[in-house]
Structure 1
C-alpha cells in the first residue's frame, strides 16, 4: 500500500484532534476539579455532561456539516462557494442557539426523574441547564471550525482551542473551589467555566472570519433558501446520528447509575478516560473527511478508497496503543479521578473492571469512527442516520431486557461492547458497497 495520503492526513489531523477533544478536555478538567469538591459532583457530571453533548451534538453536528460543503467547494476551486457554505453554518447556528435556550430548563428537570440520589440529580440538572443555555457558542464555533478545516487551515482552530481550554481550566478552578476571590459555586461553577470558555472561542473565530472578509462579502452572506434547504437535508441526518449515538450512551449511563453511585461514578470516569482515545480518533476521522471532500469536489472519487484505507490504519494504530494503556493501567487511571472520599475504593474497583471493556471495544471503534466520518463527508448521511437509529433501537431494547432479567455491571458493559462492534461492521460493509459514489453534495456547476 502506498501511504501517499498519510502526510496530508496528519497535517490536518493534529489541529482537528485538539478541536474535537475540546469539550472532553474541558469536562476532564471539570471532573478533576470537582473531585476536590465532592463525590456526588463527580457522579453527576457523567450523565449531565453526556446529556449536554447529546443535545448539542445534533446542533453542532448540523451546523458543523458546513465544513463538508466548504471542503467540496474548496476542492472544486469555488471561493464564493466556500464563504457561502460557511454562512450556511452560521445561520444554522443562530437558529440552533435560540432553540437550545428555549428548551434548556424543561430538559434539565428530567434528571429528577432518573432515579438517582437527590443531591446527584440536583447537580446534574444544574450543570445541564447552564451548559445547554449557552449552546450557541460551541455550535457557532463548530461552524467556523468547519470552515477553517475545510479550506485546509486547521492550525487556527488549534490556537483558538488552546486558548479556550486554558480559559476553562482557570475559571473552573476559581469558580468550583472559590479560589482567587471568586464565589464557590461547585458544579455550577464548572458549567459556567465551560460556557465562558466556549464564548471566548466563538469571539476569536468571529475575528478570524472578519479578517478573511467573510462578513463583508455580501453575495456570500445573502441567505439562499434553496441552498439552505439542500444543506439541512444532508446535515440534519448527521446531527440526528450524532445525537442518536449520544442518546444511547446517555441512557446507558443512566441505567448503570441505578446500580449505585459508585458504579455511576466509575462509568462516568471511564467515559471521560475513553474520550482521550475517542476524540483524537474523531479528529483523525474529520481530517480524513476533509480529504474526501477535497477529492470528491475535484471529481477524484477513485482517491477515496485509498484515503479511507490509509486513514483507518493510522486510526487503528492509535486505538490499539490506547487499548493497551487502558487494559494495563486501568486502576491507576480511575484512581486519578476518584478522589479521596468514602466511595473511592468502590469506584476504583468498578472502574478497573469497566476499563477492560473500554480497552476491548477501542479496537473496533477505529472503524466505527473513521468510516462513519468518511461516509458523512461523502454525503451518505441519510442511510447512516436511518441505520444507526435502527441499531440504537436494538441496543436499547436489549439493554432493557438485561436490566429487567439480569442487571449487573458485566452484563450491561458486555452489551455496550457488542453494540460498538456491530456498528463498526455495518459502516465498513456500507462503504465497500460504494453507494456514496452516486451522491452529490453540491449542486452541479452551471
Structure 2
C-alpha cells in the first residue's frame, strides 16, 4: 500500500493544475475582454482585433516558449534541492526575456506595416496595424512575467501565479473599458486603448512578479545573477526549439483557417468558432500538461527517473477523462454552443448548421489531443525539445502539403477537417511511442553539482 501511495501523483497534479490553467489562458482572456469592449466601439475595430491578436500570439508564442522554459530548469534544480541553481535558472529566463523584449520592440513597427498589404478595408487595416505594434512593442512585460511565473511554478508556488494573473485581468478589464470608450474621464482611443490596456496590465503583472522575486533574494544574489555564457547558450539550445514548436503549431493552424476561408465566409466563421469553443477543452488540458511537466522536473532533478512514467500515465488518465467529458459535450450540445457566438445575421443559421458538423470532428480529435498535449509536455520537461521541434516541423510540413493538395484538387470542408483530425491523431501516437522508448532518460537537463 505504501508503495502504491508513493506513486499516486494525481493529488499533486490537480493542486498545480488550477493556477497553470489560469496562467496559460491569461493572454487569450485579455483578448476576449478587448473583443467584448471593442464591440461597443466600432465594427471596424471589432473586425481588426481578430487577425491582429492572432498575429501577436503567433510572434509572442516563440518568445513565451523560449523564456518560459526556464521554469523547467527551475523545477529540475528544485527537485535536486539546489536553491542557488533555482535562482540562476530564473535568471536564464530573465535574460532571455530582456533580449526578446528588445528584439520585439525593434521589429514591431516594420512588421505592423504588413497589415496594410493584406487587402482589408483601409480603416480595418489601420486598426490592425495599431493593435499589433503596440502589443508587440510591449512584449517585454508578458515575456518577463512568463519567465518568473515559470520560476514560481517550478518551486511549487502556483497560487501566487493565480493571484498575479487575476490582478492583471482586472486591471485590463477596467482600463479597456475606460480607454476604448472614453469612460471615467479617460480619452476615447478605440483599438489603441485596448492595446494599451493589455500592455499596461502585463506591465503590472511583470512588476508584481519582480517584487516577489526581489523578496526571495533573486535580484540581490550576485552569484546567481552573473550570466554564464556557456550555460546560457545551452539553455537557449533547449528552450528555443520549444518556442519554435509553439510558433510552428500556431502557424500551421493559422494556415488551416486561411485555406478553409477560401471555401466561403460561412465555412470560415464556423471553423473559427469551433476553434474558440475547443479552447474550453484545450486550455485546461494544457494547464494539466504543464503541471505534469513540473512534477517530471522535480522527479528528474531528484534523480527519481523511475517515477516519470507513473507521472505521465496518471496525468494522461486525468486529462483523458476531462477530454472525454468535453467531447461528449461538443457532440451533444454543438447547436446551443454555436448559437452563443453565431449572432443574428442572415448567415447565422448556416454557420450553426455547419458548426454542428464540425464539432463532431472536434469531439473526435479531443480524445487524441489529450495524449498530444500531455505527453508532449512531459517530453519537453524531460529535455526532448529538439526532437519535438524537428518531428513537429516534419509533421506540420506534411499536414500543410496535404491541405494544399486538397485545396487545389478537391476543396471540401469535410475533407480538410478530416485531415486536421488525422494530423492530431498521428502526432499523439508519435509522442506516445517516443516516450515509451525511454530516450528522455539519456538527457541531463542540469549539471549535477560537484561532490
Q: Does TM-score exceed 0.5, indicating one fold?
A: yes
**Within the alignment, does 1:307 sit opposite 2:307 as a pair?**
no
**Within the alignment, does 1:8 sit opposite 2:12 as a pair?**
yes
Partner of residue 245, structure 2: 241
How many Å separate the matches in 1 of 2:403 and 2:193? 34
Q: How does 1:47-446 map to 2 (within 5 A)?
A: 47-114=51-118, 120-341=124-345, 343-446=347-450
Distance change (3 Å), C-alpha of 1:397 and 1:140: same
More displaced stretch, 152-161 vs 316-325: 316-325
Shift of 1:342: 5.4
Distance change (3 Å), C-alpha of 1:254 and 1:110: farther
Structure of greater Rg: 2
Q: How many residues align?
A: 446
How many Å separate the matches in 2 of 1:263 and 1:158? 37
Shift of 1:51: 2.1
Indicate the RMSD between aligned Cα atoms, in angstroms.
Answer: 2.2
Shift of 1:26: 1.8
SS at match of 1:88: helix
How many Å separate the matches in 1 of 2:177 and 2:262? 30
More displaced stretch, 210-219 vs 338-347: 338-347
Shift of 1:39: 5.6
Shift of 1:41: 4.7
Query: What CA deviation, in whole Å up to 9, does each residue of 1:254-285 have, x standing for no partner?
Result: 33333444444433333232222111111111
Partner of residue 45, structure 1: 49
How many Å separate the matches in 1 of 2:190 and 2:385? 40
Shift of 1:118: 5.4
Query: What CA deviation, in whole Å up to 9, does each residue of 1:155-214 have, x standing for no partner?
Result: 000000111112222233333444444444444333332222211111111111111111
Ranges in structure 2 where 5+ consecutive residues have no aligned partner: none
Query: What CA deviation, in whole Å up to 9, does each residue of 1:51-80 have, x standing for no partner?
Result: 221211111101001000000000110000
Shift of 1:334: 2.9
SS at match of 1:442: coil
Shift of 1:421: 1.2
SS at match of 1:443: coil
More displaced stretch, 126-135 vs 330-339: 330-339
RCO comparison, higher one (Cα < 8 Å, 6+)? 1
Query: What CA deviation, in whole Å up to 9, does each residue of 1:311-345 have, x standing for no partner?
Result: 00111111112222222232332332344455544
Distance change (3 Å), C-alpha of 1:13 and 1:359: same
Checking the alignment, whether the CA contact within 8 Å between 1:46 and 1:265 is kept in structure 2 is: no
How many Å separate the matches in 1 of 2:361 and 2:237? 36
How many Å separate the matches in 2 of 1:403 and 1:119? 31
Distance change (3 Å), C-alpha of 1:421 and 1:263: same
How many Å separate the matches in 1 of 2:265 and 2:124? 9
Ranges in structure 1 where 5+ consecutive residues have no aligned partner: none
More displaced stretch, 305-314 vs 184-193: 184-193
How many Å separate the matches in 2 of 1:403 and 1:111? 25
How many Å separate the matches in 2 of 1:177 and 1:328? 39
More displaced stretch, 106-115 vs 434-443: 106-115
Query: What CA deviation, in whole Å up to 9, does each residue of 1:358-392 have, x standing for no partner?
Result: 22211111111111110000001111100000011
How many Å separate the matches in 1 of 2:259 and 2:130? 20
Distance change (3 Å), C-alpha of 1:267 and 1:115: farther
